Structure 1
């Protein structure tokens, strides 16, 4: 069984290691970046636990607009505690634990928490092969992103949340 829980400072080294397993080095956040981000918005970090270890993570800051400008990756101070949109900087699962639904669980958890916290929606960027994965969760592709993060071509994805 996989459990999703808020990350702690003790998880950051493992989060950074999983990030390097899931993203090319030029796209992956560094340990220092994770430390700075966690210091600024720890409430936006969640981990998946299996076999008594962290096997996946999801994180991102809050922002006032339904976009994910590159400055957010570089400057944790851009986080807006009451921002209308939850961003997703990274969603990664240890390769030994992939294809078990863990990424789906992490994303569903962040969507639920964002809704509980009153966010208007979630935004992220992804490469072409992952558009379908995010569409399964209700995200809509907004087209090719202006992001140049890591030198890759990204798609802007947006999920508008409905509130009762």
Structure 2
């Protein structure tokens, strides 16, 4: 990748990061934390892939000092060849649930075969595995961190 192209890509990524940081600021009575970010990931073969993350604190209104706190992390890994893997990871107390989704049925089966290893790794770290699932398909638009827009920055209906 030529230096100018890399500089342009980095500048665009920083602009998106700034917009998503603005999006994560609390609005009015909304106290739930929310972060969105996009990270370039260099693959073993040197190519770049895009990793989109959305992290949300889903605590209930009565949550105090961490009680009742629930965290949800949604991520999308988009590979240069068009393949993708989407994941939703939830944490409630010490219980962790993971749902994996990919358009590639073969990849979905391979990921499903690794879920028992994930469950064991969670137990070794003192966490309780919740629902661990891998399926072929695509996430709904409102669940795909790669397609989420930064609300509040531009009102398209104004």
The normalised TM-score by structure 1 is 0.30
The normalised TM-score by structure 2 is 0.31
* Larger proportion of helix: 1
Larger Rg: 2
* Larger proportion of strand: 2
Structure of greater relative contact order (alpha carbons < 8 Å, 6+ residues apart): 1
